A and B are shown apart, each in its own frame.
Chain A
């Protein structure tokens, strides 16, 4: 690297002082001073647009009450508008869509907005980026803050220039005074002051039909930094004097350390060894040395017997205890199930199983930790910066204010980065080493020591009349969870329950949560019930479905796919499925082709119609739907975590297959825009229909009724053979 290309920023210290604003003294505001000495932070490259690192900190005190504008939005004298949010960017392009929302209401170009995201010292508290809440909740919060700011600016201009507010006009980030052609910029009016005005709850937002920036495909705001390699992910960051961390991993889950000899590692020059209970880690000046140090440690572990994948479904069923009822995900009961089953002309009882799968974010977990005068700063890729801040404060028994967590735009998460394992590990090492420590997990560590999408067993018993009325629905999920468990179709007699169980693997959130599992079982069952009633699967669904938004996506997907228009070619099949989750409505039609000799199943094309209220950024929505479909393909067809004795048996990308270019079908996406409805998130819901649509297409092509996710990790050959023997 040529030295003149590097931009080096140093933070020395912060001072805090009261600031006077119109008529009141507000709480303190922070200033960062930029000096060339006394370094604390020195990244070689400075990201040009991403403000997740302190070099660029513009400054508000996050302890500003969150009912005031200043907590969310700051307008600098140079007209830079800085927005503060605890939401984080993991590829859902929320940095762009939130900027669009603010730009719209402040009537400025998106480029005028700088987003400070996921930095616990700078942004208001936020529970985390998950559950598709960023667009509906944070979008509307920032919209309100921006409207309030706009009104406040008008008010300030009106007072300063003694002009009635109604005679002032806003355009292009400027205020037009009625006298002459004088224009004032926001910066000239606000003069860098903190906006302490209260954000009214009922501010009138720009109506959707007048949107100029929202509703358009603004490109990824910092997109250039990703295609020229300049964006600094945590794993790319460096601090001067930084050490590289490495953790001694146990041979199996739940193993405890019996004995350990650290001498070999301690004898290596420059190596710091940390040993606390079962935690053993090292920090070294470079990664090869850290690896060498770990290899030099002699450890004896105590392991215990644990269930293997082969017996997991029996195990989960046996260990299930109780029922979670109530709430959106709690299932429930109505009518009389027994009577419903008795009234049916045909009943259908099935057990579906769903394997554990891994998120496989392309950037494995990473953290960079630094202690300075008792204050811990950690850069890490997490969907919950404040949650990790809290975890770290508890782990080190220090107040939360002494912990700062910063989340630069991260190499994806998909629900898999709610936690801060690497942050804690790096912080432990940095504390003892008294130097900054970076820890990047290997792919195998990410596969093994993160957490998984839960495995589950789903039992369904349903009854149908010959006229297509569903008379009974008995649905039980063991271990996956309750998301998407609700029956969207009309059934008079139903009982639905989620039964928590005791997972031998560490499990947690995943794109769409349990709705992938539940809607798989639900929509597979619906397909086969339609067959029993001799009805077309789409007609059968519509007959039993009232929810207008779900009906609409079914109809749109079917129409675009050409459902019912023609018979599939030989050994091809068509399938349809749909569902709703987190305010999004989705329906997918799929065409598969089955090679009867090899048993290979190829997904030829999919058509997905998706609706999530008013669309903010069509291009990025398209990308989210696409991503959900491609990720859904993996879980549908072949992804599964294999394990035995507390070990993951396939912790590599050679062994754990994820979708690639060649696996990707022709994907048609229909966006259903509903400007009359509030915008919901889109990262999750479109994943739910892909697996059952493919499964149902396989039924159509071959008659084989698969009941497992993944459907065909080994292809269809064995199933076809079994079916042909049964038919003889």
Chain B
């Protein structure tokens, strides 16, 4: 089936109930989107569907006809980072970085719908993303930084 990923049409040979996560990673080589749990609990696999955050591990590809999918690889344009990525880099948020793609994508989705979130709105929105290294306060700082630039 045809998928619209980062502005390009891609065709997948996978069966319709296959998760978007495995199509992205195994078929399209877009491995920036991570597997953390496969149960919708950690947010490592977060991508944007028409600008909204979804857990790609729980999203079968047969629901995606005509929708625009954005992955972490689609944020950077011609070597220029997305402002959210810039903010994360500036704050030097991460330790192991495994949660990073999901955090960045969730942040982009948050700021899409609410460009100036309060701290508690940030925490509410991001609560579905786990950083086991515990960088949460640094992530909040980065989100505020990104929002201040928006």
Contact = CB atoms under 8 A, between A and B. Distances in A.
Contacts of B34: 233, 235, 362-363, 411
A93 B127 CA distance: 25
B104 interface: yes
B36 interface: yes
Secondary structure type dominating chain B contacts: loop
Contacts of A620: 92
Contacts of A362: 34, 36, 42, 44, 96, 98-99, 130-133
B126 A661 contact: yes
B97 A231 contact: yes
Nearest to B41: A653
Contact of A236 (B8, B15, B25, B130): B25
A653 B29 contact: no
A132 B137 CA distance: 24
Contacts of B127: 660-662
Interface string B65-91: 000000111011000010001001100
Contacts of B126: 661
Contacts of B136: 630, 659-661, 664
A91 interface: yes
A661 B73 CA distance: 25
A232 B32 CA distance: 8
A412 B95 contact: yes
Contacts of A660: 127-128, 130, 136
B134 A629 contact: yes
A479 interface: no
Kindly name the residue among B36, B96, B136 whose own CB sees the greatest number of chain A CB atoms within 10 A. Answer: B96
A224 B80 CA distance: 11
B100 to A, nearest CB: 5
A44 B26 CA distance: 12
Contact of B76 (A228, A233, A442): A228
Interface string A482-524: 0000000000000000000000000000000000000000000
Interface in B110-141: 122-124, 126-140
A93 B25 contact: no
Interface residues of A, number: 62
Contacts of B104: 227
A534 B124 CA distance: 42
Given A229-B73, A443-B39, A627-B134, A238 B29 contact: yes
A227 B85 contact: yes
A414 B95 CA distance: 12
Nearest to B40: A654
Nearest to A232: B31
A664 B85 contact: no
Contact of B98 (A92, A363, A658): A363
B30 interface: yes
Contacts of A654: 39, 41
B39 A440 contact: no
Interface string A221-254: 0011011111111011010000010000000000
Contacts of B36: 362-364, 443, 653
B26 A286 contact: yes
A591 to B, nearest CB: 16
B130 A92 contact: no
B71 A229 contact: yes
Contacts of A664: 134, 136-137
A626 B93 CA distance: 11
A443 B41 CA distance: 11
Nearest to A438: B26
Contacts of A235: 31, 34-35
A229 B100 CA distance: 8
A217 interface: yes
A667 interface: yes
Contacts of B88: 227
A363 B35 CA distance: 7
B56 interface: no
Nearest to B13: A286
A662 B29 contact: no
Contacts of B89: 219, 223-224, 227
A409 B96 contact: yes
Contact of A653 (B37, B73, B96): B37
A1 B18 CA distance: 20
B1 interface: no
B134 A410 contact: no
A270 interface: no
28 contacts: A89-B96, A91-B95, A91-B97, A91-B98, A219-B92, A220-B94, A223-B92, A224-B81, A227-B88, A227-B100, A227-B104, A228-B72, A228-B73, A228-B76, A236-B31, A288-B22, A361-B96, A362-B98, A362-B132, A363-B96, A409-B96, A412-B95, A443-B39, A623-B92, A629-B134, A630-B136, A652-B37, A664-B137
Interface of A: 1-2, 44-45, 89-93, 217, 219-220, 223-224, 226-233, 235-236, 238, 244, 286-288, 360-364, 409-412, 414, 440, 442-443, 619-620, 623-624, 626-631, 652-654, 658-662, 664, 667
List the 6 shortest-distance A-B pairs measured between CB atoms, nearest first.
A229-B32, A630-B134, A91-B96, A226-B97, A411-B98, A91-B95
